[in-house]
Amino acid sequence: MRTQVAIIGAGPSGLLLGQLLQRAGIDNVIVERHSAEHVLGRIRAGVLEQVTVDVLDAAGVGQRMHAEGLVHEGFDLLFQGQRHRIDLKHLTGGKTVLVYGQTEVTRDLMAARRASGLRTIYEAADVAIHDFDGPQPCVTYTQDGQSHRLQADYIAGCDGFHGVCRASVPRSAITEYEKVYPFGWLGLLSDTPPVHHELIYVNSPRGFALCSMRSRTRSRYYLQVPLSHTVEQWSDQAFWDELRRRLDPAAADTLVTGPALEKSIAPLRSFVSEPMRFGRLLLAGDAAHIVPPTGAKGLNLAASDVRFLADALIEHYHERSDAGLNAYSQRCLQRIWRAERFSWWFTHLMHRFPQQDAIAEKLQEAELDYLVHSEAGARTLAENYVGLPLDFGAPRGQAAPPAPAAALLAR
């Protein structure tokens, strides 16, 4: 079998890249180790930046997102028992975020891929990548006991943090930066109306909590828990009782509880691998970086990687130029490190760290107090939360990045 681009992983990165390339007439095959149902069953991100919305529109999968997604113009910070609204729209000159779950994004991308007729190989075992430092890379895998080989011009490593692609790069060719946080997020999904019409980020003496949502009838809540905890030790009732203890009285009194549709504990880490290109292998999304979910950046960073990668591959095939491929790693990493810094800062601001001493708690409260009383302070939080522009930090006068090539071609 042969294709132009072999994509490893059918999560949002792989599916979005496949769709952008297909719309530009570039053949691609996705090789995924799990079933589509398994991929859809993972409950993850909930908040989309405008940059991500634009890329999904360029991929032709924006219809349901715009119909069902919830435009959010702000969120609340809750600390010392008081709620303070961060007015994103006012502080950023009109920008907002869209609440639309990663599961739905993935579902929309899967539907578009089925309609495109492109090949997606699910439940592929023993996936391995070869010769990506030469002109003829290939992917091997087994399925139904048969061995298969997929020749390609390029391999896109969209296989997440635990994937095979980054692991296949010689250690001497890659640098990894990592910080593991001493707590996890216990998440619960329920068919109950959200406790508030916007998100509430909580810094309480008992730890962090987040009140989020997937729709006006489906809620997503998180509690900071010690790394030693397992999901089995948290009954639904225990979850709701602890969430109430971390909320202000008004929210605690109006919280609607119900059975968990899903409950899981996610570890928190900051992770970046550099560079992101190794010959004809290019990494995108969680395969190259991880952020603590506090700043809602994981899925959004994956989308901007994919936009840069699709633009570069389209430029290679349509304009016979490798400028985009040569600049890919540097363009992604500049945006990645800014999101890593914001996610690290927001995580430190909102969580209680084990052995956190009294002064650390007072300094946290002082920073929160400053943020909610200073327009300048709140603006730094808001502009990072809605997502920095793609050309942020470009030398003055340098043109904004071109519209996604796929979007131009789609017109």
Q: Which of 100, 141, 154, 201 is catalytic?
A: 201
For ligand PHB, which is the closer residue by CB, 43 or 288?
43
Told to check if 157 binds ligand FAS by CB under 6 A, we report no
Residues 67 and 216: their CA atoms lie apart, in Å, by 13
Residue 128 β-bridge partners: 140
Residues 67 and 63: their CA atoms lie apart, in Å, by 6
Told to check if 211 binds ligand PHB by CB under 6 A, we report no
Q: Among ligand FAS, ligand PHB, none, what does residue 294 contact (CB within 5–8 Å per kind)?
A: ligand PHB
Residue 249 β-bridge partners: none
Q: Strands, E, within 237-307: which ranges?
A: 260-274, 277-278, 281-283, 289-290
> Binders of ligand PHB among 323-382, rule CB under 6 A?
none
Question: Which distant-in-sequence residues (6+ apart) come within 8 Å of 247 by Cβ?
Answer: 78, 195, 200, 202, 204, 209, 211, 255
Asked about 162 being catalytic, the answer comes back as no
Stretch that binds ligand FAS, among 17-25, 33-41, 245-253, 307-315 (CB under 6 A): 33-41
Residue 44, SS3? coil
Told to check if 13 binds ligand FAS by CB under 6 A, we report yes
- In the list 3, 22, 92, 212, the residue contacting ligand PHB (rule: CB under 6 A) is 212
- The span from the first CA to the last CA of the chain, in angstroms, equals 31
For ligand PHB, which is the closer residue by CB, 316 or 351?
351
Per-residue contact string for residues 246-265; x = within reach of ligand FAS by CB under 6 A: --------------------
Stretch that binds ligand PHB, among 22-30, 245-253, 274-282, 290-298 (CB under 6 A): 290-298
> Binders of ligand PHB among 30-69, rule CB under 6 A?
45-47
For ligand PHB, which is the closer residue by CB, 220 or 351?
220
Asked about 385 being catalytic, the answer comes back as yes
- In the list 190, 270, 294, 300, the residue contacting ligand PHB (rule: CB under 6 A) is 294
Told to check if 12 binds ligand PHB by CB under 6 A, we report no
Q: What are the structure tokens assigned to 120, written together?
A: 């997606």
Q: How far is the CB of 101 from ligand PHB (least distance, A)?
A: 7
Q: Which of 12, 72, 196, 328 is catalytic?
A: 72
Residues 282 and 275: their CA atoms lie apart, in Å, by 9
Distance of alpha carbon 299 from the chain centroid: 2
From the number of C-beta atoms within 10 Å of its C-beta (0-12, 13-18, 19+), residue 390 rates as middle
Q: Which of 289, 297, 316, 351 is catalytic?
A: 297
Asked about 72 being catalytic, the answer comes back as yes
* Nearest-5° Cα angle at 411, 309 to 101: 55
Q: How far is the CB of 16 from ligand FAS (least distance, A)?
A: 8
**Helix 12-23 and helix 50-58, axial crossing angle in degrees, nearest 10:** 50
Per-residue contact string for residues 170-209; x = within reach of ligand FAS by CB under 6 A: ----------------------------------------
For ligand FAS, which is the closer residue by CB, 33 or 196?
33
Q: How far is the CB of 293 from ligand PHB (least distance, A)?
A: 4
Residues 115 and 18: their CA atoms lie apart, in Å, by 12
Best CA proximity match to 206, nearest among 253, 239, 254, 236: 239
From the number of C-beta atoms within 10 Å of its C-beta (0-12, 13-18, 19+), residue 146 rates as exposed
Q: Are 272 and 176 in contact (CB under 8 A)?
A: yes
- In the list 5, 6, 7, 8, the residue contacting ligand FAS (rule: CB under 6 A) is 8
Q: Among ligand PHB, ligand FAS, none, what does residue 298 contact (CB within 5–8 Å per kind)?
A: ligand FAS
Please give the C-alpha separations between residue 64 and each of 70, 108, 187, 190, in angstroms, as whole numbers: 11, 8, 25, 21
* Nearest-5° Cα angle at 269, 156 to 95: 75
Stretch that binds ligand PHB, among 62-70, 104-112, 292-300, 308-316 (CB under 6 A): 292-300
Name the residue whose CB lies closest to ligand PHB. Answer: 46
Binding site for ligand PHB (CB under 6 A): 45-47, 199, 210, 212, 220, 293-296
Active-site amino acid positions:
72, 201, 293, 297, 385
Binding site for ligand FAS (CB under 6 A): 8-14, 31-34, 39, 44-46, 102, 124, 127, 158-160, 162-164, 266, 285-286, 293, 296-299, 302
